[in-house]
C-alpha cells in the first residue's frame, strides 16, 4: 500500500477522534460536526464502492446498495441537524461498518489484502469513536 494513502487514511481519523472527545465534553457544535463528517466519509466510501461497479464486473445490486448507503447517511445528517442527539452516532457507526462489510465481501478478491486490512482498522477506530460519543455523551 502506498505511503500517501496510509497517511491520508490515518489523518482522516483525526476528526473522528477529536470531535468524539469534544462531543463527550459536551461541546454541542461537535455533535453536528461529527455527524456531518461521518456522513461525508460514508458518502465518499459509498462512491468509491460504486466506482468498482463501473470498472470491474460486479453485481448490479452493488450500485444500488452504494446509493442506498449514501442516501441513508444523508438522512442521518438531516436528523442530526434537527437535533436527533447522540444516538445518531449508533446509526452512523452501523452504516460505516455495513459499508465496510459489503465492500470486503464483494471486493476481497479484487483489492490487495493489505488495503482491506487497513480499511478494517480505519473503520474500527472511526466506529469506536462514534460509539464512544453515543455512549458517553
Domain range holding 69?
3-136
Q: Which residues lie below 8 Å from residue 16, measured CB to CB, with a gap of 6+?
A: 34, 37, 38, 125, 126, 129, 130
Q: Which residues of 1-27 are buried (b: 16+ CB within 10 A; e: fewer)?
A: eeeeeeeebeeeeebbeebbbbbbeee
Note the pLDDT tens digit of each residue in 83-130: 777 678 888 899 888 888 888 877 777 778 888 889 889 999 999 999
- In this model, does residue 1 exceed pLDDT 70? no
* Gap between the Cα atoms of 36 and 39, Å rounded: 5
* Gap between the Cα atoms of 53 and 67, Å rounded: 12
pTM score, whole prediction: 0.88
User: What does the DSSP assignment read for 30-69?
Assistant: HHHHHHHHHHHHHHHHHHHHHHHHHHS---HHHHHHHHHH
Note the pLDDT tens digit of each residue in 35-74: 999 999 999 988 888 888 887 777 778 888 889 989 999 9
* Gap between the Cα atoms of 119 and 33, Å rounded: 22
Determine the average pLDDT of the residues in 131-136.
91
Distance in angstroms between the alpha carbons of the first and the last residue of the chain: 36
Least trusted range by pLDDT, from 1-15, 17-31, 40-54: 40-54
How many domains does the chain contain in total? 1
Instruction: Specify the length of the chain in residues.
Output: 137
pLDDT confidence of residue 85: 74
CA 113 from chain center: how many Å? Answer: 19
Amino acid at each position: 500500500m502506498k505511503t500517501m494513502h496510509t497517511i491520508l487514511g490515518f489523518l482522516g481519523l483525526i476528526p473522528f477522534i477529536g470531535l468524539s472527545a469534544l462531543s463527550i465534553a459536551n461541546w454541542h457544535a461537535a455533535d453536528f460536526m461529527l455527524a456531518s463528517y461521518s456522513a461525508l466519509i460514508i458518502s465518499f466510501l459509498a462512491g468509491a464502492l460504486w466506482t468498482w461497479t463501473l470498472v470491474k464486473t460486479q453485481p448490479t445490486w452493488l450500485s444500488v446498495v452504494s446509493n442506498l448507503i449514501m442516501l441513508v447517511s444523508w438522512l442521518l445528517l438531516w436528523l442530526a441537524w434537527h437535533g436527533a442527539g447522540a444516538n445518531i452516532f449508533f446509526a452512523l457507526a452501523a452504516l460505516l461498518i455495513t459499508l465496510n462489510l459489503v465492500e470486503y465481501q464483494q471486493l476481497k478478491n479484487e483489492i490487495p489484502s493489505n488495503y482491506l486490512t487497513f480499511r478494517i482498522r480505519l473503520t474500527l477506530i472511526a466506529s469506536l469513536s462514534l460509539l464512544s460519543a453515543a455512549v458517553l455523551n
